[in-house]
Amino acid sequence: EIKVTLVEIEEPTGPFGARGVAEPAMVATAPSIANAVYDALGVRIETMPLTKERVLKAVKQSKKIQELMK
């Protein structure tokens, strides 16, 4: 759950005292994609960005761990 709080104090470095408002919507994007990869592949990846190389490496490591546990 994300709770957004609007701060209505001027930002001296922003144009006309404006603050950014688009960032809160982007906070959940990367974790959502990581959770989708986990749901699809059963592999949790906690390092961003989720590159194809990292996903493949995690899948291979997961298979090795599963074989060792047998």
* Dihedral sign computed on CA atoms, order 8, 10, 13, 16: positive
User: What whole-number distance in Å separates Cα of residue 17 and Cα of residue 19?
Assistant: 7
- Active site annotation includes 67: no
Q: Report pTM.
A: 0.58
Has residue 55 got a pLDDT over 80?
A: yes
**Closest to 34 (Cα-Cα) out of 55, 59, 56:** 55
3: confidence class by pLDDT, cuts 50, 70, 90: confident
User: What whole-number distance in Å separates Cα of residue 18 and Cα of residue 45?
Assistant: 36
Mean pLDDT computed over 41-65: 90
The H or E element that residue 69 is part of is helix 52-69
Mean pLDDT computed over 35-61: 92
Mean pLDDT computed over 49-70: 86
Q: Say what the pLDDT of residue 23 is.
A: 67
Catalytic-labelled residue, pool 1, 8, 23, 46: 23
Q: Say what the pLDDT of residue 33 is.
A: 92
